[in-house]
Structure 1
Amino acid sequence: MADSDFRRELAQQLRVDSIRCSAKAGSGHPTSSMSAADLLAVLLDGHLRLDYQAPDDPRNDHLIFSKGHASPLYYSVLKAAGAITDEELLTFRRLDSRLEGHPTPRIPPTDVATGSLGQGLPIGVGIALAGSKLDRLPYRVWVLCGDSEMAEGSIWEAFEHAAHAGLDNLIAIVDVNRLGQTRETMTGWHLERYAERARAFGWHAITVDGHDVDAIEEAYQGAEATTGKPTVVLAKTRKGRGVKAVEDLPGKHGKPLDDPEAAIAELGGVRNLTVRVTRPEVRAKPYAFAVTGAELPTWALGEQVATRQAYGDALLAVGEQRGEVVALDGEVSNSTHSDLFAKQLPDRYFEMFIAEQQMIAAAVGLQVRDWVPYASTFAAFLSRAYDFVRMAAISRADLRLVGSHAGVSIGEDGPSQMALEDMAALRAVHGSTVLHPSDANQTAQLVAQMADRKGISYLRTLRGKTVVRTPSTEDVHIGGSRVLRSSDADEVALLACGITVGEAEAAADLLASQGTTARVIDCYSIKPLDEDTVRAAARDTGLLVTVEDHWPEGGLGDAVLAAVSDLARPPRVHKLAVRIMPTSGTPAELLAAAEIDAPAIAKAVGSLLGR
């Protein structure tokens, strides 16, 4: 059997298996899988370099289904490659199955979770950056995209960055089957329109009949021969290809076929072809960066230092200690202070420009290859990439996110720049860590600990300077807190984080002058919270007042409420937070207007105690 004939038969098998597993599950997207079957058959048989028996081999190519709803096709590919059995294929979408409705890393060699459209290609950019700039290995990153997701802005962030970085190891395959979930796409089958856009972004674009295996072969050869720029293969296909009851018909999206047995017969029946996927031949190992070693920076008590400055200094030190640490920034590095890393360790720094979705996606891609990314921008702008953070958790990704310029304390820039929902958003991410240090020595220790932290870690830093209160020798750790003052006579506990720690301490002085003794706790770890210290304060005082430069929903106050809710005698918990829409003003004016400065805290405590 000639290669072309084998590939046609393999494509039919992929279609049949997509129908079979969707029919068994009673749900799925077989028609979206059937359109791309020829594209994957040719890729699998001759172009992909991937050892399915050694999915962690660093030399492997990477295959990402950006159109993650085509998971029946992906799992059919795994079966054809010998990575799963036919029996496992038919467990698709079952509770006890690794084959989820959209692929996740639970089934090797899946790098990342997909299913939220527009994310696979930006993540592919990150993996391609790792291959080109860090691993320095010749693996390729193949990304199957759907034409509907070409409407997503993140796709075009990926197009622009991939061209800017000259990622000729990245090949996007766009399955242009014309039909979305409810109607025809905006661009339909106008392949040249897509191609013109791609070329304008700096890509090599190839248009092809997506059901002609010989034309696909020629396109892939052309993509592999292209240097200096990424390639996109734009393939005209027909949704539901090969089955008259569904081919190129609207209203068939996301549904198993009504008569799967007839469809399978029309496609020529069940096959059991296997493909010996070519293994990577290069013997090289990933590049390892030399390190000079450095001590974490420390500051003397009483110094005035911005925590964003401490982040930059600490990040550089961690990078000099560990060659796998890399940094990304959204073109505000001279404000977040990741520019210190960029200047000293330029080979491990990635400027992502004003493209926060691409920045987070690139970080996800870099960690696929075991690099340790820290990604920073203004905290307010991380919200643009929140879906990428959410999906990163589903990918079981390890990310370190840093948001600077948080809260009303940034001052005159006004509310568009003031992150006031960031702690709530990041607390809600599964398995996340949320940290908000109040001084430089805390920041440095937490930055270092984030390097080994699993899951999504978020560090919130401040624009303005704060006094260093924490001795450099004191233990600061994720899940900890710091008690600034405490006594057996405490009538109230003030729990603060970041900028409000200084305000809480000043409020305690005011209260002391009025005859009220207050405990002050610096809750630098919001999630996980130091529940033992918080619960002890609740038992000792019966009154907790939380103070945060954040909206009242979802931040420190709610973390504290959750920690004490099951006590036999729950305390009174009063939340002081930003409750009015801020404007421009000085930091002091804005803290006062939000009623989270020292006088407002003292006044609230007096009222709560009836004084």
Structure 2
Amino acid sequence: MDLSGALNMLMTTQVIANDLDPQETQEWRDALDALVAAYGEDRARFMLDQLVAHTRANGIAWKPELATPYKNTIDVRDQPSFPGDIAIEEKLASLMRWNALAMVAKANAAYGELGGHIASYASAADLFEVGFNHFFQARNESTEEPHGGDLVFFQPHSAPGVYARAYLEGRLTERDLEFYRRELSARENGAQGLASYPHPYLMPDFWQFPTGSMGIGPISSIYHARFMRYLSHRELLDCSGRKVWGVFGDGEMDEPESMSALTLAAREGLDNLIWVVNCNLQRLDGP
């Protein structure tokens, strides 16, 4: 039995434990299954909405559960085949995790006050790699398929992983990695220092947007998406096909500025904005 089946069985067992008439309950389930089989999922959703509306109209106190099992919201049958080579991408992600860990550990072995974050990227590496390899669009000025490029806001604590990726790409050298969080010393030694967090002022040819301290990235991504929509509506700049991506952590969502502008995104219908939130349940200092 797969994990999804086990979770469904657990939920069913918990419900039956408090069920006064299990046979009637099963009849309702069977009726819903028959409705889906005969008329499809859209009809089933419509009927469920009607039942909820009828319940409210009759003053029946009912609250849906806010906590749900960890389950992919896209059914397996609706998932397209993976466009890349999973084995190769998993191998590369493992190398990047190791290099990111080694860079932070080596820096702190020499200078204990430097700090750095390991768990953030270690748990988000696959999310980053799928984004880099299959979703994030770079600027393309060719006449055949021009693209203005996506805007990407990276979780600040995952910066070591982006440096590790740049090292494998040849954009950073091993010498550069030795000066992680030591920008001033790097200049004195002819190397490129690596900023603690995404910082386009310190690394203008590397980072696109500043996202540290935590919370700056989410609110900035929302207003950038809104401004891109404004430019398109005013016909000042063609932003069609461009996306604003935010790769953040669950701890970052605790920051007030992370959530404060979500009403703007909802009100303006910013379908050019995509957030990917890595829920590793670690926050900053552990669960």
Provide the TM-score with structure 2 as the length reference: 0.56
| CA deviations over 1:480-529 (Å, ceiling 9, x no partner) | xxxxxxxxxxxxxxxxxxxxxxxxxxxxxxxxxxxxxxxxxxxxxxxxxx
Runs of 4+ in structure 1 over 6 Å off: none
1:115 equivalent to 2:212? Answer yes
1:73 equivalent to 2:161? Answer yes
Alpha carbon RMSD of aligned pairs, Å? Answer: 2.6
Kindly indicate whether structure 1 or structure 2 has the higher relative contact order, using CA contacts under 8 Å at least 6 residues apart: 2
1:149 equivalent to 2:244? Answer no
What is the rounded CA distance, in whole Å, between the counterparts of 2:179 and 2:149 in structure 1? 27
Rg larger in structure: 1
Task: Report the 3-state secondary structure (helix = DSSP H, G, I; strand = E; otherwise coil) of the residue aligned with 2:248.
Answer: strand
Q: Which runs of 5 or more structure 2 residues have no equivalent in the other structure?
A: 1-83, 109-114, 141-145, 187-191, 232-236
| CA deviations over 1:545-581 (Å, ceiling 9, x no partner) | xxxxxxxxxxxxxxxxxxxxxxxxxxxxxxxxxxxxx
What is the rounded CA distance, in whole Å, between the counterparts of 1:168 and 1:79 in structure 2? 33
Aligned equivalent of 1:104? 199
What is the rounded CA distance, in whole Å, between the counterparts of 1:4 and 1:77 in structure 2? 17
What is the rounded CA distance, in whole Å, between the counterparts of 2:106 and 2:176 in structure 1? 12
Task: Report the 3-state secondary structure (helix = DSSP H, G, I; strand = E; otherwise coil) of the residue aligned with 1:115.
Answer: coil
Task: Indicate conservation of the 8 Å contact 1:20/1:90, yes or no.
Answer: no
Distance 1:24 1:4, change over 3 A: same
Aligned equivalent of 2:227? 130
1:18 equivalent to 2:106? Answer no
Q: Output aligned runs, 1:557-568, within 5 Å.
A: none
| CA deviations over 1:148-181 (Å, ceiling 9, x no partner) | 1212221222322112121111111111000123
Give 1:59's aligned amino acid. G
What is the rounded CA distance, in whole Å, between the counterparts of 1:20 and 1:183 in structure 2? 20
| Identity value in percent | 31
Matched residues, number? 180
Distance 1:83 1:58, change over 3 A: farther
1:25 Cα offset (Å)? 1.6
Give 2:198's aligned amino acid. P
Aligned equivalent of 1:38? 126
What is the rounded CA distance, in whole Å, between the counterparts of 1:79 and 1:168 in structure 2? 33
| CA deviations over 1:352-403 (Å, ceiling 9, x no partner) | xxxxxxxxxxxxxxxxxxxxxxxxxxxxxxxxxxxxxxxxxxxxxxxxxxxx
1:60 to 142, 149, 152: 149
Q: Which runs of 5 or more structure 1 residues have no equivalent in the other structure?
A: 185-611
Q: Output aligned runs, 1:344-493, within 5 Å.
A: none
Task: Indicate conservation of the 8 Å contact 2:139/2:147, yes or no.
Answer: no
Aligned equivalent of 1:317? none
What is the rounded CA distance, in whole Å, between the counterparts of 1:146 and 1:44 in structure 2? 17
What is the rounded CA distance, in whole Å, between the counterparts of 1:92 and 1:132 in structure 2? 37
1:82 Cα offset (Å)? 4.5
| CA deviations over 1:279-306 (Å, ceiling 9, x no partner) | xxxxxxxxxxxxxxxxxxxxxxxxxxxx
Distance 1:127 1:79, change over 3 A: farther
What is the rounded CA distance, in whole Å, between the counterparts of 1:101 and 1:64 in structure 2? 15
Task: Report the 3-state secondary structure (helix = DSSP H, G, I; strand = E; otherwise coil) of the residue aligned with 1:36.
Answer: helix
1:81 Cα offset (Å)? 4.6
1:88 equivalent to 2:176? Answer yes
1:121 Cα offset (Å)? 1.0
1:170 to 246, 251, 273: 273
1:8 to 68, 90, 94: 90
Give 1:17's aligned amino acid. N
Distance 1:131 1:84, change over 3 A: farther
Distance 1:132 1:81, change over 3 A: farther
